[in-house]
Amino acid sequence: MTDRLLSAIATKVRDGECILFLGAAVHAGPPADSTFDYPEEVRPSLAGHVVDDLARECDFTTQFPSDAANDLQRVALCAELSPGLGRKWLVEYLTDKLMARTRPSPVLEMLAEMPFRVVVTTNYDGLFESALTRAGKRPQKFVYEPTPNTPTRQVLKDPTAQQPVVFKMHGDLERPDSIVITDEDYIQFVQRLAEKDKVNPIPGYIRERMQMWPMLFMGYSLRDYNLRLLFRTLRWDVDRAEDPGAYSVDRSPDPLILKVWQNERRLVTFLIQDLWAFVPQLHRTVVASGATV
């Protein structure tokens, strides 16, 4: 990553005109040579561990021997429909694995100190909200509403660096009905994205800013079909000349996605770097550029 690119991103962050997108891999531990510490016992379980556990609990490989046992959405659906398990059990399992005994990482704490005004996350846990509170901020939390044609809670007051909006796009563990994890949940989520204005599940203020401000993706692989579909849905009618851009921090992006999304269509600029290296650099640059963090 060039100094010019880092400076450009830092300027948008400092001005509060960059949307932070947080995915589950933002909770991954630091590399072995890192100066940071984030012990495994206080980290949330990552998707790979979750899907392995769920597959064992619902005996997925016996029931569906020809299916890939690492498909979280399908395995979660199996768990939801299995006798003795079910939706309540699934949410309680997620709560235990993602929230119990966990704490925000140094990466989340640095991100929370920076003046992002709009944060969108597909994480169910509340660790980023905790990091914001520890940074002396008062986050305004908005949670995805799964019921079709239900009026969406709107952002009535412009968010600030001290009172940022956090939109839990795939639900929140404090709202079990809001969790988007199974195949059927994702289908309903995509259907809801087609709903109009006041009943669209994404508050209008956030949808507008998604078309006006650059997005910074962290903790995601754009190999995820659902994430690419979401991105294209949110930006499908933006004039290419007015496109605000998007950045994805990914130390090993998929070569085909890199070729199509960056080199050919110029939809996303990949920052090929580990989060534990990128976030401290961004934090230092934002602070050096005069932001109040």
On whether both 29 and 70 belong to a single domain, the answer is no
Owning domain of residue 61: 45-98
On whether both 33 and 125 belong to a single domain, the answer is yes
| More confident position, 156 or 216 | 216
**Residue showing tokens 């498909």:** 71
Alpha-helix runs per DSSP H in 137-217: 183-193, 204-212
On whether both 94 and 144 belong to a single domain, the answer is no
Mean pLDDT of 94-118: 97
> Please, which residues have CB within 8 angstroms of residue 259's CB and are 6 or more apart in sequence?
none
On whether both 66 and 184 belong to a single domain, the answer is no
Residue 293 has pLDDT above 80, yes or no: no
DSSP secondary structure string for all residues of 248-270 = EE-SS--HHHIIIIIIIS---EE
Mean pLDDT of 88-110: 97
On whether both 204 and 243 belong to a single domain, the answer is yes
Question: What pLDDT is recorded for position 157?
Answer: 87
Residue 39 has pLDDT above 80, yes or no: yes
Residue 235 has pLDDT above 60, yes or no: yes
Q: What is the DSSP letter of 82?
A: S
On whether both 50 and 154 belong to a single domain, the answer is no
**Residue showing tokens 């109009």:** 196
Please indicate, yes or no, if residue 293 is contained in any of the structural domains: no
Count of other CB atoms within 10 angstroms of residue 16? 18
> In the β-sheet with 140-143, what is the strand arrangement from edge to edge?
140-143, 165-168, 118-121, 19-22, 215-218, 246-249, 269-271
Average pLDDT, the chain: 93
Are 177 and 143 a contacting pair, CB within 8 Å? no
| pTM, rounded to two decimals | 0.94
Are 165 and 118 a contacting pair, CB within 8 Å? yes
pLDDT band at 147 (very low <50, low <70, confident <90, very high): very high
On whether both 227 and 266 belong to a single domain, the answer is yes
Nearest in space to 269 (alpha carbons), one of 243, 239, 233, 292: 243
